Structure 1
């Protein structure tokens, strides 16, 4: 049997505490390109995931079905020369969340069609998330109902899978897809008892559904390690607070932990997470936040080069976000000044939902066309792209717009790479 990236991921528990993998959750083409170029340079596997809201059989907010997303990523891989056998595609929060306003039976049928589409398209890491209530149900469901629905979805995936047998991620203590709704001041890590209960209730539910073979390929449990970010603040990982949770893995040889919302953690914190058994580190908004910083910086640079005072891209994004507020309105709160700040600079980065907007995409394209072939002066890079000034000065990054955008994302990926290799 060929030792593909999926097969290596399935054996992740063998390297628990010593090595991990970064899970890049993004549909932005520049983020994906930077991720694949980064993987090509370091010679490792790459894990790229789409969420139920981004990509589903109805198109999601990207307009892509699972097969569309697969082709999209594979096309970028082909252009960058990244080998297909080192790439794992994953589906995140696969469950009824996009349709939770519907009655449970109808929402679960939609969720089943979605996970079947993911499996048929060759996605081989599937996060089963049925923790949210549907119409007429509590907002959060108990473990038994969650596990029963997860087993139902696993059966649909097993029947539809066309590539390597999928591996599964289970867990009921999952952050809401899309990010936190408010400022986060402190978090209680999942208790060891809750982890054991989650695993056992899923084991029973899968057995009752005749899905023992699928459960044998469950590799990770989503837990809360005490890590999260709000709109303007970050809760850093505290290893001492998660000591008991980490120790519980000693009795769970099949599993590692999957840590969501690790965006903006320091390299030391990420390395500590990996050492403590949180082998799968999810990152998404942190990468598009870095990309947005670089895009706004380039827009300011273009304005300076043209003798203007105001950058154009922030103006266009503001107009479009005000015209179409559905992706930020229920997440951001406060007066007009606070909402403006959050729309553009929130760590939850709801602006990432707007990059596919035709007017914003056209403004980005116009910006890159304006700067094409321009060698940007180092003082302007220092002023508007400060994190990138030293790599440019050292000759590691060309002082050109596209290279600077990719480098902004790569800097964040380098932090993860150092952590997962140096744990």
Structure 2
């Protein structure tokens, strides 16, 4: 039987100064004046669409992503978060994260964001190498990235994340490790460490830059992981490192197949409806223009569908096995409404291949699975077993 998991809120702010050549997110280069007041109006009206489905459920985390949310003023973010609090029950000490990019933030804005209720910043550094930043299409330099980190700390943010990318065009192992070293010098308690991949429908996909070879990429990954381990950060997720207790609540809820409302242009949501015995996904209108026009009639939702039983197991394990933690089959049953026994053959195959360990090979509700080191190395193969 389905039960309601923890609930988060994702808010999409879609504008950027310029579209990066590797980016496949729903982001749009800003042309003209930022319509921040009208967009906040639309976000709050959009939020009311799904309120009846989540009424009374506490929200454990809020994430303002983009795009570049730091293009919005402190006044706009304050009005937005005040509107969210007026409509939703935020849990005590709810994590409220905002993405920001060096080069788009006047440094005193961090104080304004903190006063508005943001208690965690995720800063898109990517690399401290100014030449590499130019290749990536970023508008900041390495020095500006360092100034932005100092500004985040000076504003009083004890919790902040630094985004780094590796396997950059013509990057050496030493350069990748140097980025990690420079990031660690600022004492982050959370660090995202992503491999640059060439996504379809991006400039880099059409005009691929010279990337490091596979051996170099493996060496980079291992060298950077060793350095992060020595710094006391652990890889709790494939691309996320944190001190114990400093993991992102929002990220954890996503990977544990929790629920999340999604508002803003192109935002996705996943909601469990126990009374209707189904789980739904929704998607908002993608482009800012039709999304803002929907303010006239409330037609923000572009698509809504129930997740079929055949998709549920795959979606659950696709997310869950990204985390380096035990997977209770009781949680699987509660969050999908499926019986774990129906997947015994697939779990048995994963056990036989050494991709997981299990407390009980009978795979009863009380069984706990654990992804092995081999399972992490061959994560795609492990996830594919549940297709």
TM-score after normalising by structure 2: 0.40
Larger helix proportion, structure 1 or 2?
Answer: 1
Larger strand proportion, structure 1 or 2?
Answer: 2
TM-score after normalising by structure 1: 0.37
